[in-house]
Structure 1
Amino acid sequence: VVPLMVATVVGLVLLWPRGETPVRSVPVHAPGTSIEIGTVVDILEETGSAEFGMGGQVRVELETGQGAGHTVPAQVPPEVMANGVDVGDRMRLMVIPEALGTGSPYIFWDFERTVPVGWLALGYALAVLLVARWRGLAAMVGLGASLAVMVVFVLPALMLGHPPLLVALVGSAAMLFLSLYLAHGVSIRTTTALLGTFVGLAITVVLALWGTRAVNLTGTGSEQSLTLINAFPNLSLADLLLCGIVIAGLGALNDVTITQASTVWELHAANPALSRRRLFSQGMRVGRDHIASTVYTLAFAYVGTALPMLMLAALMDRSGLETLMSGEIAEEVVRSLVSSIGLVLAVPITTGIAALLAPNTPSTSSRTAQTGLAASGSTVGGQ
């Protein structure tokens, strides 16, 4: 593990984004406009037609800006009104002074979601703490550290034009070290899971390299990709797609490898006399169940994420195979297959490493129990 850690540190030093980065360099709104927050207090009217959609006006009590505390009319687009706007909803409004002639300078920009998302995050944290206690707290710290790597290193490095695959490998390695060791502690068991995860990651990288090139995936299947081309003309979207595939498989890999390492360690603790072959075979019984459940979990996760795109693809008059082989769908298929293969192969690899590294001597409790039995046997024999 030490060489991997050294390589990760060297990679971070060499690829670290230096100087000014493009992060937050594009303004959200035009000069002379501003974004204010307010709460809907009344639905005034709906305007429009069935053909062009129903827009409308609402009255909003402003919470920020020069008009804070005042109630003003705001214009809401028809697609937002169609999805439902209720009294009490909090909105972000763009203030466009030039739009005063249309009825109101306040135009709907987005919903303000900070409070409900904050409650969800708090509920998540409480659930983790109540069930996993200190281990859960450590896991959340590891998650926060991993997200910090994404924000501070991966995204700026990609924006500055560093090789996406190298950035993905170094960033993934850093996230693995932080998340696993912070969540599960520094131990041989955790190191076993880490080694298995790195092997699974290497398999994923090799398969992703071959898959994206063999299938001729370009990474240009979405509007976001076209926007990135305009912002970063020298960025290779195919390499960026490869980077995304590598990072996307980390969570599932962590899951299966730490489970397999823990399974083998618990089997050894329960029966220290088990040979390494038996440890491996019994650990794989659990591993096969884990594979069976995790594979369709990954597939369902990708299907759920790509559901709008799947609906659009299904509108086309073509066969199911042609739909699957279209560029935008093929990206998700390759992503799912590559991640799943890496995950499946990581299970026996991690189980084998754990069986090799499991302690050779019985645990303290086992030795104590054996000593007690031996003493009892001697006493009985003496009688």
Structure 2
Amino acid sequence: MTAPDDTPFDPKAHPHGHTHQHGGPVAPVSAHLRRVIAAVLIPFAAVMVAGLVLLWPGGAPEQHEHTGVGFDQQHERARVTEVTEVRCEDVGVQVQQGVEGPCEQATVEVTSGPHAGRTFTEMVPPDATQRYSEGQTVIVAYAPDAPQELQYSVTDVDRKVPMLLLATVFALAVVAVGRLRGLLALVGLTVSFAVLTLFILPAILHGSNPLVVAVIGGSVIMLVTLYLVHGVNARTSVAVLGTLISLVLIGVMGSLFIGWAHLTGNTDDQTGLVHSLYPNIEIRGLLLAGILIGSLGVLDDVTVTQTSAVWELKQAEPGASWPKLYRAGMRIGRDHIASVVNTLVLAYAGAALPLLLLFTIAQSSVGTVAFSELVAEEIVRTLIGSVGLVASVPVTTLLAALVVSADRHPVPVAAATSRHRRRRKR
């Protein structure tokens, strides 16, 4: 039994009618509202693409010839052929006081490059964190200006096989559970990695403003990945708008509090090294850019989830008003806030765990440690990202409730199905 075309759909009169909405041709929003959303997002996307073209770096800049940090050294593959224990005193290795045990002498054979087959020895003190075993593949650096016996040295182990295997397991798991949506998510991940390595990092090294580069690159990543994975529709557009508003809030708060707290961003060896190699890079902007990029991935998750929740609530109760949808969506969002904020804090704490251990054993007071620049930078990073995440829930929920309720005269399911069939016959 179907209702006439001019009869509004009544879920009470058709208690099973909701089952047809999940795959039917019902438009969730009016054509006028879709044009309004497009009028906002299309110019924004055009500006981001224009910025991408204007700031495109064309590759990473050439490295300085006198860096002195080994980045310009040639690297080859090698294999450990023998490991023997020796007395540290016999081979002239200085051991820290309180450290006991023999040293290890690893014989390494170069397996690639012009000197394949050459062997050299690598001394491993007893307090070394990296140990070698016979048959292990390692990475060695070649210094042509050094004496022949010192030209090669082990810099790292070869971990290509376990890393590629882990990546394969991850990809298979995503596709097995997510199917086509999971495959599209992997494509979006590839796009994100490409934008990061081909645009964001080289553009910053070329001297472009890190904040501008992060905004443009992050926006391109967001637009491509969200629309690719979730489709070009009003639901995805609402998630994009919610993410943009939250990113603006993070950027404004980041600029305010980083300046107010006098944070320089130059608090670790890596940042100091980058600044010494490329003095034109604005380190404080680099800190803010890192906050934006780090928050973007979690923001996408929050905004897409909240938008989908409101859409599903509307499908379950087509007659619900936007205030009712907003209140119901916020009940879901409050649980999301609690879990996401905890996730973000733990993620930053896990990344800074060695730093936290150092300050745990320090003799300074808790206040002195917390307000030092090294720790304050991580606190500001965490709190600004968390504020943006918290704000994204009500903002996105409100936008979704307004958009999904924008149709004053919703199309009945039966009428929409009938019109869809007539179009197909034509």
**Please, what TM-score do these two structures have when normalized by structure 2?**
0.78
Paired position in structure 2 for 1:10: 50
Equivalences for 1:308-347 in 2 at 5 Å? Answer: 308-347=354-393
CA distance in 1, matches of 2:269, 2:245: 34
Correspondence list, 1:229-248, <5 A: 229-248=275-294
CA 1:284 to 1:198, structure 2 compared with 1: closer, same or farther past 3 Å? same
Q: Does 1:43 align with 2:88?
A: no
Corresponding position: 1:56 with 2:104: yes
Is residue 74 from structure 1 mapped to residue 121 from structure 2 by the alignment? yes
Alignment match of 1:93 (pick from 136, 140, 161)? 140
Deviations 1:198-233 (A, max 9, x none): 011011001101110111100111111221221122
Q: What does residue 267 of structure 2 align with?
A: 221
**Aligned-residue offset at 1:367:** 7.9
The answer to whether the 8 A contact 1:39-1:63 is kept is yes
- Taking the aligned partners of 1:323 and 1:93, their CA distance within structure 2 comes to 39
Whole-Å separation in 1 of the counterparts to 2:124 and 2:373 = 32
Q: Structure 2: 5+ residue runs without aligned partners?
A: 1-40, 89-93, 418-426
Match of 2:61? 22
| Alignment partner, residue 281 of structure 1 | 327
For 1:246 and 1:115, how far apart are their aligned partners in 2? 33
Separation in 1, partners of 2:230, 2:293: 21
Q: Equivalent residue for 1:206?
A: 252
Deviation at 1:51, TM superposition (A): 2.6
1:177 and 2:216 are equivalent in the alignment: no
Partner of 2:265: helix, strand, or coil? Answer: coil
Write the distance in 2 (CA, Å) between the matches of 1:146 and 1:71.
41
Write the deviation string for residues 85-144 of structure 1: whole angstroms up to 9, x where unpaired: 233432112345755557xx5421111111111111111101101111110111111111
1:353 lines up with 2:399 in the alignment:
yes
Residue 194 of structure 2: which of 148, 157, 161 is its match? 148
Q: 1:264 to 1:240 in 2, by over 3 A?
A: same
Structure 1 stretch 148-157 or stretch 191-200: which is displaced more?
148-157
The alignment of Structure 1 onto Structure 2 pairs a total of residues equal to 363
How far did residue 243 of structure 1 move? Answer: 1.3
Match of 1:65 among 105, 108, 113: 113
Distance 1:225 1:273 in 2: 55
Cα drift, residue 67 of structure 1: 5.4
8 Å CA contact 2:106, 2:124 repeated in 1: no
Aligned-partner Cα distance in 2 for 1:180–1:9: 16
Output the aligned Cα RMSD. 2.6
Aligned to 1:116: 162
Identify unmatched segments of 5+ residues in structure 1.
369-383
Structure 1, residues 229-261: CA drift from partner, whole Å, max 9, x if none? Answer: 211222221111111111111011001000001
Shift of 1:79: 7.0
Bigger shift: 121-130 or 165-174?
Answer: 165-174
SS of structure 2 residue aligned to 1:161: coil
Give the distance between the partners of 2:152 and 2:215, measured in 1 at CA: 46
Q: Given residue 74 of structure 1, which amino acid in structure 2 is its aligned partner? A: T
- In the aligned structure 1, how far is the partner of 2:272 from the partner of 2:119? 37
